[in-house]
Structure 1
């Protein structure tokens, strides 16, 4: 199955097929990743406690995403490995999210993709537990999080929406669902409705 065909599967099917690999390989990917981080990136990067997702901070969500992207990008440098990495990335970020296709194309062309974000205080609590939707995206009973992050490499800032899902073997998983600049219609009113 091609990466594009895999991306068409719903997220539960994608997690069922590849989620175990993500859970098992992330700690080792994090260990390797540490060697390549710049000092300013190393200051914010840590491995989130995957058994404590309900208590994650914005930084935990951003780090979980960064480690998942790095893992997807360090697969074998063969066409099969590149395809595997691109499939794996689709359980790190939703294939419909902004920038997904462009980022997935880096996999295979740029081994060890490093996107490290620093959480920025945003004036609201990002925890979306108890909500059923945000900006048209369904939020499961496991909740989600809206993080405001600054890309450490260049200072660009963006809001990142994460949705929590059941993962393999009873684990919980976080998926990057959408990215916002803050200027989208309805975004500011949706944020204003979040607890302060």
Structure 2
């Protein structure tokens, strides 16, 4: 989902149209505050990725202030920010990029170049989402399941794992089943591929 934050309705509408022309779902926000309110009220990350097109200068909370808030919450990998400005300057662009912005475009901009960067940002967000899900699944494993997981990844058979951990083979089988279930895989090969 492309999140377009700009105080000018005509800009939001034209960027939404441009996104739709490239099969990118988009939603507009008239202010940073409006976007933040949505973020606070049960925001759900899009499985296809998210990207924020953010105007630098707006009444109320500026784009750079919103970016600082997203950075402080460590959200800029899941919500990469592309700045748009009609008042940009090179030092501002360099500063925002150094602080983790995905890109910086000065108005007027090349439509195709902007949408190409949006697609790249969405891909990065999607990948960050997958990584976050894997970390959440790993965090759901018990300490013993993590021990069994490490030995499975080394290619050890259930009997060897049981001997090394001093537990029964049946207990290893139960742990293996729980691991596969929690990690949402069916085989050890699939598990290894997920965690490579």
TM-score, normalised via structure 2 length: 0.30
Higher RCO (Cα < 8 Å, 6 or more apart):
1
TM-score, normalised via structure 1 length: 0.30
More helix by share: 2
